[in-house]
């Protein structure tokens, strides 16, 4: 019997980082993503975000990869948002996402970080948060 437990912190933003996710809409989207993950067998431990992005803590299963899970979460949620006309304009997520592994010893810290997004972004913009992640994890944005 296989056992796989790979924690991943996944972050993705609205198209052009538009601040479209008002509090009411944001919670509806989170609820939808939680239910969709349950239906698809995706173990979503935590979800939260702010006006222009969402954070998820996911444990990958043995037949899952982050690209497929990201595609499912982003694709199906954007279809649902547009179908239900939650936003007046056509909604979409940016193509890119940020995903980093999380050690078991840091899971509770990451859950707290995700759960505290609204307070966190009263003090720090998403752009500043992205720059902090870039510095911490040693990656850079590619300009095409």
What residue has token string 């497929």? 68
Measured CA to CA, the distance from residue 59 to residue 4 in angstroms comes to 8
Sheet holding 6-13, edge to edge: 43-50, 53-60, 6-13, 98-102
pLDDT at 144: 40
Domain range annotation of the chain = 6-137
Instruction: Report whether CATH 3.40.630.30 matches the domain 6-137.
Output: no
Contact 17, 94 (CB under 8 A): yes
Single pTM value for the model: 0.84
Report the Cα–Cα distance between both ends of the chain, in Å, rounded. 44
Per-residue pLDDT of 65-110, as tens digits, reads 999 999 999 999 999 999 999 999 999 999 999 899 999 999 999 9
């Amino acid at each position: 019997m296989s056992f796989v437990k790979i924690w991943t912190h996944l972050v993705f933003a609205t198209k052009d980082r538009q601040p479209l996710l008002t509090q009411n809409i944001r919670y509806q989207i989170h609820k939808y993503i939680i239910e969709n993950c349950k239906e698809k067998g995706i173990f979503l431990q935590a979800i939260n975000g702010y006006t222009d992005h969402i954070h998820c803590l996911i444990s990958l299963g043995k037949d899952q990869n982050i690209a497929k899970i990201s595609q499912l979460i982003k694709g199906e949620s954007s279809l649902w948002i547009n179908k239900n006309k939650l936003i007046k304009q056509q909604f979409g997520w940016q193509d890119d996402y940020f995903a980093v592994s999380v050690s078991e010893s840091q899971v509770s810290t990451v859950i707290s970080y995700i759960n505290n997004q609204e307070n966190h972004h009263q003090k720090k913009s998403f752009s500043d948060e992205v720059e902090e992640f870039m510095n911490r994890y040693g990656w850079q944005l590619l300009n095409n």
